[in-house]
Chains A and B, each alone.
Chain A
Amino acid sequence: ERSAKGIKEVAMIQGLSARECAEQAVSLAMDILKKRVSAFLTAINARPVYTIQEILEDRVVRPASILVIGGPAVAMVPLLEEAFGLPVVAPQHAEVANAIGACLTRPTQSLVLTVDTSRGSFTVPGLGIHKTVKRTYTLDEAVHDATTMLRAELDRQGIPAEDGDIQVIQADAFNMVEGHYTIGRNIRVRCQMRPGVITTLVS
Chain B
Amino acid sequence: MLTAKTSLGIIFFPAFDWAISPTHPEREERLLYTQDQFREEGIFDIEGIREYRPLIAEEKDILRPHFCFPGVKSVCTDSHFISAGGVIRAAQLVMQKERERAFAVVRPPGHHAMRTVHGSRGFCNINIEAVMIEWIREHYGNLRVAVVDTDCHHGDGTQDIYWHDPDVLFISLHQDGRTIYPGTGFPSEAGGPKALGRTINVPMPPRTSDEGYLMTVERIVMPILDHFKPDLIINSAGQDNHFSDPITNMNFTAQGYARLTQMLRPDIAVLEGGYAIKGALPYVNLGISLALAGVDFSAVQEPDLDREKIREQKSTIDYLAALCDQLPEVYFNPRPSDAVRESGYFVRRRSIYYDTDDINETQVERLKDCPHCPGLLIVESETPKTPRCLGLHVPVQGCDICSQEAEERFVKSRQAGYAHAQLSDRVTKRYEYAK
A residues with CB within 8 A of B: 46-53, 55-56, 172, 174-180, 182
- Compute how far the CA of A176 lies from the CA of B54 in the bound complex, rounded to whole angstroms: 25
Establish whether residues B53 and A55, one from each chain, have CB atoms under 8 Å apart when the complex forms: yes
Establish whether residues B17 and A49, one from each chain, have CB atoms under 8 Å apart when the complex forms: no
Per-position contact with A for B1-16: 1 when CB-CB < 8 Å, else 0?
A: 0000000000011111
Q: List 13 A-B contacts (CB under 8 A).
A: A46-B53, A49-B53, A50-B12, A51-B15, A52-B79, A52-B82, A55-B53, A172-B16, A174-B28, A174-B29, A175-B27, A176-B29, A177-B277
Establish whether residues B278 and A177, one from each chain, have CB atoms under 8 Å apart when the complex forms: yes
Interface residue ranges of B264-285 to A (CB < 8 Å): 276-278
| Nearest chain B residue, comparing its CB with the CB of A46 | B53
Q: Does B141 contact A (CB under 8 A)?
A: no
Establish whether residues A174 and B32, one from each chain, have CB atoms under 8 Å apart when the complex forms: yes
From B29, B78, B276, A56 is in contact (CB under 8 Å) with B78
Establish whether residues B278 and A55, one from each chain, have CB atoms under 8 Å apart when the complex forms: no
| Nearest chain A residue, comparing its CB with the CB of B53 | A48
| Residues of the A chain whose Cβ atoms lie less than 8 Å from the Cβ of B28 | 174
Closest chain-B Cβ to A82's Cβ sits at a distance in Å of 31
Establish whether residues B53 and A182, one from each chain, have CB atoms under 8 Å apart when the complex forms: no
Q: Does B35 contact A (CB under 8 A)?
A: yes
Establish whether residues A55 and B16, one from each chain, have CB atoms under 8 Å apart when the complex forms: no
| Nearest chain A residue, comparing its CB with the CB of B56 | A55
Closest chain-B Cβ to A138's Cβ sits at a distance in Å of 15
| Nearest chain A residue, comparing its CB with the CB of B25 | A180
From A47, A50, A176, A182, B14 is in contact (CB under 8 Å) with A50
- Compute how far the CA of A52 lies from the CA of B86 in the bound complex, rounded to whole angstroms: 12
| Residues of the A chain whose Cβ atoms lie less than 8 Å from the Cβ of B52 | 46, 48
Closest chain-B Cβ to A42's Cβ sits at a distance in Å of 12
Closest chain-A Cβ to B346's Cβ sits at a distance in Å of 41
- Compute how far the CA of A51 lies from the CA of B52 in the bound complex, rounded to whole angstroms: 14
Q: Does B18 contact A (CB under 8 A)?
A: yes
- Compute how far the CA of A52 lies from the CA of B77 in the bound complex, rounded to whole angstroms: 10
- Compute how far the CA of A99 lies from the CA of B246 in the bound complex, rounded to whole angstroms: 60
Q: Does B51 contact A (CB under 8 A)?
A: yes
Per-position contact with A for B240-261: 1 when CB-CB < 8 Å, else 0?
A: 0000001000000000000000
A-side interface mostly: mixed
| Nearest chain A residue, comparing its CB with the CB of B12 | A48
- Given known contacts A174-B29, A177-B27, A180-B25, is B278 in contact with A50 (CB within 8 Å)? no
Q: Does B96 contact A (CB under 8 A)?
A: no
Instruction: Beyond the given A48-B12, A49-B53, A55-B13, please list 9 additional residue pairs across the A-B interface where CB-CB is below 8 A.
Output: A46-B53, A48-B51, A52-B15, A55-B53, A56-B56, A174-B29, A175-B29, A178-B278, A179-B246
Establish whether residues B35 and A50, one from each chain, have CB atoms under 8 Å apart when the complex forms: yes
Closest chain-B Cβ to A44's Cβ sits at a distance in Å of 12
| Residues of the A chain whose Cβ atoms lie less than 8 Å from the Cβ of B27 | 175, 177
| Residues of the A chain whose Cβ atoms lie less than 8 Å from the Cβ of B53 | 46-49, 55
| Nearest chain A residue, comparing its CB with the CB of B277 | A177
| Residues of the A chain whose Cβ atoms lie less than 8 Å from the Cβ of B12 | 48, 50
Closest chain-B Cβ to A179's Cβ sits at a distance in Å of 5
| Residues of the A chain whose Cβ atoms lie less than 8 Å from the Cβ of B18 | 52
| Nearest chain B residue, comparing its CB with the CB of A47 | B53
- Given known contacts A177-B29, A177-B277, A179-B246, is B13 in contact with A50 (CB within 8 Å)? yes
| Residues of the B chain whose Cβ atoms lie less than 8 Å from the Cβ of A49 | 53
| Residues of the B chain whose Cβ atoms lie less than 8 Å from the Cβ of A51 | 15-17
| Residues of the A chain whose Cβ atoms lie less than 8 Å from the Cβ of B343 | none
From A46, A50, A180, B16 is in contact (CB under 8 Å) with A50
Closest chain-B Cβ to A150's Cβ sits at a distance in Å of 25
Q: Does B315 contact A (CB under 8 A)?
A: no
| Residues of the A chain whose Cβ atoms lie less than 8 Å from the Cβ of B21 | none
A-B residue pairs, 9 tightest by C-beta: A51-B17, A179-B246, A51-B16, A48-B53, A52-B78, A48-B51, A50-B14, A175-B29, A50-B16
- Compute how far the CA of A49 lies from the CA of B56 in the bound complex, rounded to whole angstroms: 13
- Given known contacts A52-B79, A56-B78, is B23 in contact with A182 (CB within 8 Å)? yes
- Compute how far the CA of A49 lies from the CA of B11 in the bound complex, rounded to whole angstroms: 10
- Compute how far the CA of A51 lies from the CA of B29 in the bound complex, rounded to whole angstroms: 11
| Residues of the A chain whose Cβ atoms lie less than 8 Å from the Cβ of B51 | 48
- Compute how far the CA of A47 lies from the CA of B52 in the bound complex, rounded to whole angstroms: 8
| Residues of the A chain whose Cβ atoms lie less than 8 Å from the Cβ of B277 | 177
| Residues of the A chain whose Cβ atoms lie less than 8 Å from the Cβ of B15 | 50-52
Per-position contact with A for B74-90: 1 when CB-CB < 8 Å, else 0?
A: 00001100100000000
| Residues of the A chain whose Cβ atoms lie less than 8 Å from the Cβ of B25 | 180
- Compute how far the CA of A175 lies from the CA of B82 in the bound complex, rounded to whole angstroms: 23
Closest chain-A Cβ to B194's Cβ sits at a distance in Å of 39
| Residues of the B chain whose Cβ atoms lie less than 8 Å from the Cβ of A55 | 13, 53-54, 56, 78, 82
| Residues of the A chain whose Cβ atoms lie less than 8 Å from the Cβ of B17 | 51-53
- Compute how far the CA of A133 lies from the CA of B15 in the bound complex, rounded to whole angstroms: 29
Closest chain-A Cβ to B78's Cβ sits at a distance in Å of 5
| Nearest chain B residue, comparing its CB with the CB of A172 | B16
| Nearest chain A residue, comparing its CB with the CB of B32 | A174
| Nearest chain B residue, comparing its CB with the CB of A175 | B29
Interface residue ranges of B26-73 to A (CB < 8 Å): 27-29, 32, 35, 51-54, 56
| Residues of the B chain whose Cβ atoms lie less than 8 Å from the Cβ of A177 | 27, 29, 277-278
- Compute how far the CA of A46 lies from the CA of B12 in the bound complex, rounded to whole angstroms: 12
